[in-house]
Chain A
């Protein structure tokens, strides 16, 4: 793991806190999270429902802003960036994969990917991204014509097509059966290995943690512990 540790940090958070709502109805989702993600590593974020995993991921991806604390992407402090800078940050550096795929139903697989390649700086061709996600044969199908696993792989293709430095995945296998889940995880590990994209995966499936370099346990809005995997397993070996 030294190889990873020696690499530069991609994300760094300092005391990130997030409170939803105000007064008596206020919910504290994050209570001072300090965390660093490094170039090229694959991290799994584990935690029960309400532990703050998704909130943290949304804040890292600039989909949401923290109530307090600071977030750095390399040298850029995201917590001080303007809306315009955050838009540019999302466009140029981050790829997202969501539990419910979030595809545009009126666009085909290829077009859903093109949605990103049209505005990215140095994208791969949509076809290449889909091929990497193992979807070469379904390019001209609409989301409604594809299975859940296929739709999620379109989402992955869409996320990697811009050659992002970071891939943020929120329960990417949450809506899938184990067999389909494995194909999605394989796509993610392949991309991490081949492109060196730092990847953070949220899951509540404990079995998945073994495919990561590091596992971050979140509980009650805090980082409970961080484990480095001595040995990683292949996605096909994951038990569900």
Chain B
């Protein structure tokens, strides 16, 4: 049997449903984000971990130029080693049927005998290639789907300069290539990049690697130290052109997946508190008002013998009621979107299965947080009122105390109208409530600024990576290092308007305990296709000696311009040099060190060399150029910047409006929650006063001015605060999102500030006008008769 007091509670909730809903939606956003982020995180983590486990995903990875297979015995002796598997792996150019542009593939060899013991690929369709047959390959599932490569079909590859026909035996998924991207790219492009599993003998013959390997994976015993194994492995591989062993953290696919998980964690930590704090303030405002209105009922309850805890409990239950509405909506939304997100991830990540696992922890956590939020929000108001003695509570509250002061001086100075004075006095009389309104509106502006910032950052990144610093149409990777004469040869390629040679070498930077592996690029004087830019966007002149380094990397290493850094070249002659950092640069995509070309080759005591070619091309000649690339043995890889540019922009555009819509809804919900409630409370408190104005002959519009203008004034005050908060959020986002591969530039455009402002102000005005309709309908006589 439901008690009478609870029945009152339900009726109260129903009576103020619009306000309850406005708060509940804000709370629901916080809950939904928490459930969504946690659910997605749990889903990805559990799926990943279980697959890693089943497929025996390695713990340590390393590459070398060419190491003898016998070395694996010594690797197996490293302390903490469980299993080792060596293989041959290289990038190749593919000529796919029906595709003019060349595609790229990464050939991965299978063991000489038996099945792989580490990073075991999952056969989805067909079978693994016959180890004895050099013309058979299994391909990654997405690549197969993109090219309709049913088992038995074939395509061509340029293997070590030779064009060969390869026949597909099956489709595979691998824990190493959950996120599979080609060199120089960020987003998987199923049509242009694929993995090819090939029998060992075939790969060894194709790449001239008989009795040798260039990649090795290690699985460690539980509790073994990854850094120790990495050091030991580095020592063994050094003589064979080892480029630095590493744990899972630098394994490309794992790193991308981890970065996604980190972003989900950041989302779960940063966003929900904003919504929870705003909700707590709203509950405080609304329950506070409700209690003020029910002051006499509280007195009565006390008079008839209800105890203080019983009455306090009643109002806390009311606030919990609001919390429960928000929680249920939030849970439903969170679970719904978490279910959908599995599908979204399936666009980018290749898992054998991806089933949404609801995270009970997230439901419990969000539930506790939501209840704590509303209870904390209500506590102060409840406490203040239930303390009153019954006789005091039952007498009407003293009229609000206005006093002459600042408002009057301002009013006199500005010759303000009396209605404006009413606004001014109300702001000064209830500064706390004004502050809550300002804070809430500022929070929604900041959420919008921080959300729209990601589009600004993407734009800036694309502009930097594809237009400002990298102006090449395509880059050709050469299969071998060559003399600069190759640049002259390349000028005769079809459609080549401009050709620049590049030399890049892998290096290891060390500074104190910090260590980084990256490419050092030789920058020729006057290079136009690849420019090195500073954090401000201007070109950084190459110093005659020393290196320039990306600012983000310098920060990671604890270095500044002017400092010395130890640079170990991982290519022959494998020397270590102490070089000065002469300037820092900004690079949105990838992180490389740059050095004056002449200085570099002087340092290495070598003549100039080239291992990549940047080309500016005439689009009309592309088909001819593509055809030529597919048959040029010297080219081992190609990066089609024009295509990547297009793919990147398409990718952003594809989700742009959906994301703008979702973020706008979040921002609008906060604004509506705050402004609508503030307006309703104003209306309830001041209906007597406002009705009096009507009696005196003010028009509806003039009376509405008092209500609407105050809220719009507060909203305007909130806007710059929201900009500032939003900028802080954006900075945190940029920091959290940036990795060794991507650096998100901290650029917030005027469009973002303007858009966020416009959305919030329109939502605020609409909320205030919604309440104005109630004001218009107020019956003057009834309002005047009200006791309060």
Contact = CB atoms under 8 A, between A and B. Distances in A.
Interface residues of A, number: 30
Given A102-B300, A102-B394, A104-B300, A92 B305 contact: yes
A87 B308 contact: yes
B594 interface: no
A61 to B, nearest CB: 7
Given A102-B297, A111-B4, A64 B389 contact: yes
B304 A116 contact: yes
A98 B304 contact: no
Nearest to B3: A118
The listed residue with most A CB atoms (<10 A of its CB), out of B8, B303, B310, B394, is: B303
Interface string A151-164: 00000001000100
B311 to A, nearest CB: 10
A119 interface: yes
B305 A88 contact: yes
Contacts of A48: none
A106 B8 contact: yes
A107 interface: yes
A168 B47 CA distance: 71
Given A87-B302, A111-B4, A104 B297 contact: yes
A64 B307 CA distance: 15
B17 interface: no
A162 B310 CA distance: 18
Interface string B274-308: 00000000000000000000001101111111111
Contacts of B5: 115, 118
The listed residue with most B CB atoms (<10 A of its CB), out of A91, A104, A118, is: A104
Contacts of B301: 115
Contacts, number: 77
A96 interface: yes
B390 A63 contact: yes
B394 A63 contact: yes
Interface in A43-82: 58, 61, 63-65
Contacts of B412: none
Interface in A131-181: 158, 162
Interface in A98-135: 98, 100, 102, 104, 106-107, 111-112, 114-116, 118-120
B344 to A, nearest CB: 46
B391 interface: yes
A84 interface: yes
Chain B: interface secondary structure?
A: helix
B11 interface: yes
B307 A84 contact: yes
A64 to B, nearest CB: 4
A232 B302 CA distance: 34
A83 interface: yes
The interface size bin for chain B is 20 to 34
A102 B296 CA distance: 7
Contact of A83 (B3, B4, B308, B394): B308
A111 B10 CA distance: 13
Interface string B1-13: 0011101100110
A104 B7 CA distance: 11
Contacts of B303: 61, 63, 90, 96, 102
Nearest to A87: B307
Contacts of A58: 391
Contacts of A92: 305
B24 to A, nearest CB: 20
Nearest to B7: A111
B654 interface: no
The listed residue with most B CB atoms (<10 A of its CB), out of A84, A92, A116, A119, is: A119
Nearest to B11: A106
A63 B3 contact: no
Contacts of B296: 102
A126 to B, nearest CB: 9
B305 A91 contact: yes
A149 B301 CA distance: 21
B15 interface: yes
B307 A118 contact: no
A124 to B, nearest CB: 15
Interface in B381-426: 389-392, 394
A95 B303 CA distance: 8
A106 B4 CA distance: 10
Contacts of A107: 4, 7-8, 11
A100 B8 CA distance: 20
Nearest to A110: B4
B16 to A, nearest CB: 11
Contact of A63 (B7, B8, B389): B389
B305 A116 contact: yes
A120 B305 contact: yes
Given A104-B8, A106-B11, A87 B394 contact: no
Contacts of B787: 100
Nearest to B294: A104
Interface string B589-612: 000000000000000000000000
Contact of A114 (B4, B297, B392): B4
Contacts of B389: 63-65
B222 to A, nearest CB: 60
Contacts of B11: 106-107
Given A90-B303, A96-B304, A64 B391 contact: yes
A217 B390 CA distance: 25
Contact of B304 (A64, A83, A90, A111): A90
A90 B787 CA distance: 27
Nearest to A155: B300
Contact of A158 (B302, B304, B306): B304
Contacts of A65: 389
A83 B308 CA distance: 9
B308 A91 contact: no
17 contacts: A58-B391, A63-B303, A63-B394, A87-B307, A90-B303, A90-B390, A91-B305, A92-B305, A96-B303, A98-B300, A104-B8, A106-B12, A107-B4, A111-B8, A114-B4, A118-B4, A119-B305
Give 3 closest A-B pairs by Cβ, nearest first.
Answer: A91-B305, A64-B391, A63-B391
Given A118-B3, A162-B305, 18 more contacts: A58-B391, A61-B303, A63-B389, A63-B394, A87-B302, A88-B305, A90-B390, A92-B305, A96-B300, A96-B303, A98-B300, A102-B300, A102-B303, A107-B4, A111-B8, A115-B5, A118-B4, A119-B304
